Amino acid sequence: MDKVIHLGPWFINGHFLSISKWKSNFVARNEKLTTSAVWVRLPQLPTEFYDGKILAKIGNAIGRLLKIDTCTSTTLRGRYARICVEIPLEIPVQSFLFVGDLKQDILYEEEDFLCKNCGRFGHTLRQCTYIKMQSLDPHHAGQKHQQVATQDACDSE
């Protein structure tokens, strides 16, 4: 049975899904997916931080680091740091973090699945079942979700 765990995570419709470890006795049958893997970009990260250990720390601060984009690890072409992290779906995602004293915006590539109401990942605004965050002040509503270029020159190598 252990082997099943190692088959994941999977790509489904381009979305990187992972399944939380099955409870050995399958009590978890009705448990919904509680984490999702998502590509995250750190557009302001200085290149001197394009280092496996630092990126792992950042990834693990956001969620759980799964993968570092080769674009990032080969600094030649890396214009932004890109990492794949597993994030919990039941808590709102972070929109920034600090690396040392530097504030770094975190961009989530699958922003369609980032709820602009509650800030949680894995559902859209319309599917949101959470109570609205604060008052929807237009200056704070939905935090800042910058458009992320979808073309990806890094995939083909």
- Which residues contact Zn ion (rule: CB under 5 A)? 115, 117-118, 120, 128, 130
Which of residues 45 and 118 has its CB atom nearest to Zn ion in the complex? 118
Give the CA-trace dihedral at 111, 43, 82, 127, to 10 degrees: -10
End-to-end CA distance of the chain: 35
Residues 6+ apart with CB under 8 A from 80: 41, 42, 43, 45, 72
Nearer to Zn ion, 68 or 118 (CB): 118
CB 8 within 8 A of CB 21: no
Rounded to the nearest whole angstrom, what is the least distance from the CB of residue 56 to Zn ion in the complex?
Answer: 29
Q: How far is the CB of 111 from Zn ion (least distance, A)?
A: 13
Nearer to Zn ion, 128 or 148 (CB): 128
Q: Taking the complex as a whole, how short is the minimal distance between the CB of residue 116 and Zn ion, in angstroms?
A: 8
Q: Give whichever of 41 and 120 is closer to Zn ion, judged by the CB atom.
A: 120
The minimum distance between CB 123 and Zn ion, in angstroms, equals 6
Helix, strand, coil tally for the chain in percent (to 5): 20, 25, 55
